[in-house]
Amino acid sequence: MLKKNRTALIAFGGLTAVALTLSGCSGESDESKDGEGCSSISASPVASSSTTSTTSASNSTAKAKAGTPTATVSTPTSYLSPIQAADIALKKAPGTAVKIEAECEDKTNVWEVVIRGANDAGKKFYIDRATGAIKSEKDEKLSDAQKQTPKVDIRRAIDIALKAVPGALDEAKLDLDGSTLMWKTEIVNTSGDDFDVNIDASSGQILKVEKD
């Protein structure tokens, strides 16, 4: 989990509603070990992956009359939800999404998505949260839990977790507690507090909600 200075997306019901900025992303992925963080993701509604923002027509007119040049700045206005990132990875490598986590790779905010394919082959994808582009992919060794097939998929697990603790998903992964297969999720609530929400991967029942 990205403990401090992280950026996470607030998602409700599997759809990204707003981006929660917590002073930028300073977590490191396996590919990014230089200690330098990601730029902040500013709050924005769901829209296309990017758009062009300009000053208002009235301001532009006023500045033009005053002889002041106006600027056109291209800025992202929406970011991938974890579910959208999982869908992108699954199109590339059909199978079962067994983990998704907010990460930082090469100073870029990404979703790290792990897919279990045929014969328990694991693939890890780093997906740019602003553009949806797959930045990199590699083989991934799966845990015993990730080699099992959950009745409740990652989409439903994320939805259940965010209804229990409204806020931003930081991580969701398959894990075992004894013989119980569960989804372990980590949520940053709207106040910036960290919560663990464990969900039975067979029934969808919430097993634990605990503040870190």
pLDDT in tens, 103-156: 998 899 999 999 999 999 999 999 999 999 999 999 999 999 999 999 999 999
**Angle (CA) 92 98 100, round 5°:** 80
**CA distance linking residue 211 with residue 208, whole number of Å:** 10
φ, ψ of residue 10 to 5 degrees: the values are: -80, 125
pLDDT for res 39: 61
Query: Both tokens of residue 54?
Result: 């300009």
pLDDT for res 38: 75
Query: Both tokens of residue 64?
Result: 């033009």
Please write the tens of the pLDDT for every residue from 9-25.
Answer: 444 334 433 444 333 44
3-state secondary structure 87-105: HHHHHHCCCEEEEEEEEEE
Other CB atoms within 10 Å distance of the CB of residue 147: 13
Query: Both tokens of residue 160?
Result: 């259940």
**How buried is residue 22: exposed, middle or buried, by Cβ count under 10 Å (0-12/13-18/19+)?**
middle
Please write the tens of the pLDDT for every residue from 21-73.
Answer: 333 444 444 443 333 567 655 332 333 333 333 333 444 444 444 554 444 33
Angstrom distances, CA of residue 143 to CA of 54, 65, 82: 48, 65, 21
The two counts, helices (H) then strands (E), for the chain are 3, 12
Which residues, including other chains, have CB under 8 Å from residue 30's CB and lie 6 or more apart? none
pTM of the model: 0.71
pLDDT for res 174: 98
pLDDT for res 36: 52
Considering only CA atoms, which of 169, 190, 151 is closest in space to residue 80?
169
pLDDT of 190 over the 60 cut = yes
Please write the tens of the pLDDT for every residue from 151-184.
Answer: 999 999 999 999 999 999 999 999 999 999 999 9
Query: Both tokens of residue 204?
Result: 């969808």
Query: Both tokens of residue 195?
Result: 């919560």
Q: What share of the chain is helix, strand, coil (3-state, %, to 5)?
A: 20, 40, 40
Q: Name all domains of the chain by residue range, CATH numbers in brackets.
A: 7-30+78-211 (3.10.450.40)
Cβ–Cβ < 8 Å for 19, 43: yes
